[in-house]
């Protein structure tokens, strides 16, 4: 099983950043690779079990199911249902933690998935760099480094 782990420090309070990332349909607002998103069936974007369908800037199409959302822990977990990346059993969690020194946030994003071993290193790098880190960099630009 492949594993991706990316962490970062964002110069704003966790509860403020959480208001942006907790919306399961708001990816285009803070993930540069995402062009558009919608929640299928008109369900609320914070209902566990809802499915978001979104298109990437490069035209790729994905569907993901919300598995868990905790306002207490500032965490969200989801599974990929459909993706052009060639991953299976993909589960990811994004978690924010307050840093009291300077009122900043420690952000970490993890993913585990199965894939063709020949593509594993490239997928780990692509997801870690072009999705997770790029999203953290966009949040830093929006909220403060």
The correct answer on CATH 3.30.530.20 for the domain covering 2-143 is yes
Q: What are phi and psi of 42, to 5 degrees?
A: 65, 20
Flag whether pLDDT at 98 surpasses 80. Answer: yes
At 144 the pLDDT is 75
pTM metric for this prediction:
0.94
Q: At what angle do helices 134-143 and 14-21 cross, to 10 degrees?
A: 120
Is-contact 65 54, C-beta < 8 A? no
Answer yes or no: are the C-beta atoms of 113 and 89 closer than 8 Å. Answer: yes
For the stretch 16-61, pLDDT in tens is 999 999 999 999 999 999 999 999 999 999 999 999 999 999 999 9
Residue 71: pLDDT over 70: yes
Domains of the chain: which residue ranges?
2-143
């Amino acid at each position: 099983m492949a594993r991706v782990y990316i962490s970062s420090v964002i110069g704003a309070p966790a509860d403020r950043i959480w208001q942006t990332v907790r919306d399961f349909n708001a990816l285009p607002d803070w993930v540069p690779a995402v062009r558009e998103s919608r929640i299928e069936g008109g369900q609320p974007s914070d209902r566990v079990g809802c499915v978001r369908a979104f298109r990437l800037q490069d035209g790729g199409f994905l569907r993901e199911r919300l598995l868990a959302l905790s306002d207490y822990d500032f965490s969200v977990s989801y599974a990929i249902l459909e993706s052009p990346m060639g991953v299976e059993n993909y589960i990811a969690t994004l978690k924010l933690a307050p840093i009291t020194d300077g009122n900043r946030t420690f952000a970490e994003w993890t993913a585990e998935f199965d894939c063709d071993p020949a593509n594993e290193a490239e997928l780990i790098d692509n997801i870690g760099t072009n999705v997770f880190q790029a999203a953290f960099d966009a949040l830093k630009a929006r909220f403060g480094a």
